Structure 1
Amino acid sequence: MRDSRTIPPEVSIVVPIYNELENLPDLVERIHGAMATQPLSFELIAVDDGSSDGSAARLRELAAGRPWLRAVCLVRNYGQSAALQAGFDRVRGRYVVTLDADLQNEPQDIPLLLQRLETDPEVDMVSGWRHQRQDKALSRRLPSMLANRLISRSTGVHLHDYGCALKAYRRPIIDRIRLYGELHRFIPSLAKEAGARITEVPVRHHARTRGVSKYGIDRTFRVILDLMLIVFFMRYRHRPLHAFGGMGLWLATPGLLMLAWLAGLKLLGHDVGGRPLLITGVMLLLMGLQLIVAGLVGEMLIRIYHEGRGQPQFYAHEHDPLAETAPSTTPPPAPLA
């Protein structure tokens, strides 16, 4: 029999958990039932994010008799991004699947996403689309709709449903991205930056029947701030001087023109010492120079990041027709005893 603890599985399923005690037994069984219908071996990495309702203890009980279930318990509540990253750091499969623990995602849709990755080599990430959402509260649906349009327009990654946690990835994409803060909402944008080719498939969605939702309308403001970070990250990560220097030039140029105008007046004998235009010109020039210097410092940090730490500046999909058509010289594996 195959030992799931020593032989890497083909699929790693990562589920962040926070105060979902009532849903855990059903969640584990439904994921097992869904994966039993397809041929790929799997592991379930359940990450408890410092729950206060006993979810961690229940996870350890469930994992005791299930070798494919790995319970990871964080010492306190760090947030969903940290919980997902804790799971990503432990994946062993060549495919990685994520979903929420509230059972609003349908585990039976996992094989659908995996089939798309298996049959389409041009796709690196499959994102679920809850095309028939069962959330009745307008306070959840309206902000989600607005956020999807705003994020798609800002990042260039056009998806109907950024908020759907049910997603599947090829392992190299997960290895290239790091989550911190609350960037779990923008994984498709980070994946695109890492070279992922993304598609979207409709999936089922259920209304929550147990537990309490952890989301509120207040998260809209956090999404806007995080979106600003993502847009800056995608456009200017490798060229911060263009961002800060550009703003600096927009401020310094009118300031310099104001000072040049006042200098001309001074040469003609006019008194310019008490004019508000003098203070405005000096402030604009100094602010512009500060931003330009900040951009130069950013350029030096980027150089240190790439050269000092050996971080790649790009990712590529390489196709070698000769290697793909040449006969294999690797001897076949020896039969198992």
Structure 2
Amino acid sequence: MANRYDVSLVIPTYNEALNIAELIRRVSGSFAGSGASLELIVVDDNSPDGTAQKAEELKSQYPGMKVIVRTAERGLATAVVRGWEQAEGSYLAVIDADLQHPPDIIRRLHSAAQSQGADMAVASRKVEGGGTSDWEFHRVVISNVANIIAKCLLPWSLRDIKDTTTGCFLFKRENVELAKLSPTGFKIFLEVLVRGKFSNPVEVGYVFNQRSLGQSKMTLKQDIEFIIHLLKLGAVTGEVILPLASVALFALIAARFL
């Protein structure tokens, strides 16, 4: 498929009717005057709150916007891949629909990739300018534990990345064979990083905000899927030591009860 846009942004959604219009307005606005063209792709898992219908109503305001509704599949990571498969941009990107990622971060990632000649740009809470906004203590612990676990289980693949659990990033489409992606659960970044071919990823600092509307979807089930995903990727790279994976799962579960 020809590259008609500079950036194709996939927004995976489930029950985000309260946030989708504001997110799209602000993301699109951040690209105004930048000289870069943006393709918007919403992939909705048949939300009962009418997210897909809300997105469809927005298409008249944003020419070229696509809305994909999945009725058989579920899961954030696979939704993102489905969107990328329909994308027509030179760079592929993803952002959460809940406004916890600042909407202008996609433009900033694209600018960083362009100015630094990077094949991947990662929204990071772990570099200068990054952080979290008023997170509860247990959530900070869970995030930090997950980051440490990922680095312990995939030390070589993640050697250049400080924020391994980010959900917002951008990369050159030519560096990844989308057909080879087989993600599990919520974390698509690790799948792309390990299975793609990247020589110079860069991290761009951002502050992760509290969700103001809607409900969080992170559960213990997602923690387990995260470890399973790491094991799958470790089988690809040969990095994972199985006993460490057992300890990692225990640590992540324990962190939820602090």
- Structure 1 unaligned residues grouped into runs of 5+: 1-5, 237-242, 244-337
Query: Cα offset for 1:65?
Result: 3.4
Q: State whether structure 2 residue 193 is matched by structure 1 residue 194.
A: no
Equivalent pair of 1:193/1:234 in contact (CA under 8 Å): no
User: How large is the RMSD of aligned CA atoms in angstroms?
Assistant: 2.3
Matches within 5 A, 1:98-137: 98-121=94-117, 123-130=118-125, 131-134=130-133, 136-137=135-136
Q: Supply the distance in 2 between the matched residues of 1:7 and 1:117 (Cα, whole angstroms).
A: 17
Q: Which residue of 1 aligns with 2:249?
A: none
* Residue in structure 2 matching 1:44, options 40, 53, 71: 40
Answer whether contact 2:100 2:209 (CA < 8 A) is retained. yes
The structure having more radius of gyration, on CA atoms, is 1
**Cα offset for 1:32?**
1.0
Which has the larger share of helix?
1
Which is bigger in relative contact order (C-alpha 8 A, separation at least 6)? 2
**Aligned-pair CA distance for 1:21:** 0.5
Against the structure 1 CA distance between its residues 217 and 75, is the aligned structure 2 distance closer, same or farther, given a 3 Å change threshold?
closer
Paired position in structure 2 for 1:62: 58
Contact 1:23 1:210 in 2 (8 A): yes
Could you tell me which residue of structure 2 aligns to residue 325 of structure 1?
Answer: none
CA contact (8 A) 2:121 2:202 kept: yes
**What's the CA shift for 1:200?**
1.4
> Which residues in structure 2 correspond to 1:78-97 (within 5 Å)?
78-97=74-93
- Does structure 2 retain, via aligned residues, the 8 Å contact 1:88–1:174? no
Q: Number of matched residues?
A: 231
> Residues 182 and 7 (structure 1 numbering): CA distance in 2 closer, same or farther, change over 3 Å?
closer
Q: Distance in 2 between matches of 1:115 and 1:67?
A: 23
Is the aligned partner of 1:230 residue 2:226? no
Q: What is the TM-score of this pair, normalised by structure 1? A: 0.63
Q: Which amino acid aligns with 2:10?
A: V
Matching residue's letter, 2:142: P
Which deviations, in whole Å up to 9, do the C-alpha atoms of 1:281-313 show, x marking residues without a partner? xxxxxxxxxxxxxxxxxxxxxxxxxxxxxxxxx
CA distance in 1, matches of 2:176, 2:67: 20
Q: Provide the C-alpha distance between the structure 2 equivalents of 1:167 and 1:96, rounded to a whole number of angstroms.
A: 8
* Farther-moved stretch of structure 1 (215-224 vs 56-65): 215-224
CA 196–188 in structure 1, closer or farther in 2 if over 3 Å, else same: farther
d(CA) in 1 for partners of 2:186 and 2:176? 12
How far did residue 218 of structure 1 move?
A: 4.2
Give the letter for the 2:166 counterpart. Answer: C
User: Which residue number corresponds to residue 160 of structure 1?
Assistant: 162
CA shift at 1:189, angstroms? 5.2
1:140-168, CA deviations, whole angstroms, 9 ceiling, x for partnerless residues?
32122111111122212133322322201
Contact 1:143 1:217 in 2 (8 A): no
Q: Given that residues 129 and 161 in structure 1 are in contact (C-alpha distance below 8 angstroms), is that contact kept between their aligned partners in structure 2?
A: yes
| Aligned-partner SS, 2:131 | coil
Q: Give a deviation string over 1:181-222, Cα, whole Å, max 9, x none.
A: 526525345424421122212113221100000112443222
**Alignment gaps of 5+ in structure 2:** 242-258
TM-score, normalised via structure 2 length: 0.81
Alpha-carbon distance change, 76 to 211 in structure 1, aligned in 2, over 3 angstroms? farther
Tell me how far apart the structure 2 counterparts of residues 188 and 181 of structure 1 sit (CA, whole Å): 9
Aligned to 1:74: 70
- Which residue number corresponds to residue 247 of structure 2? none
The question of whether the paired residues in 1 share the 8 Å contact of 2:20 and 2:55 is answered with: yes
The one-letter amino acid of 2:55's match is L
1:142 counterpart residue number: 141
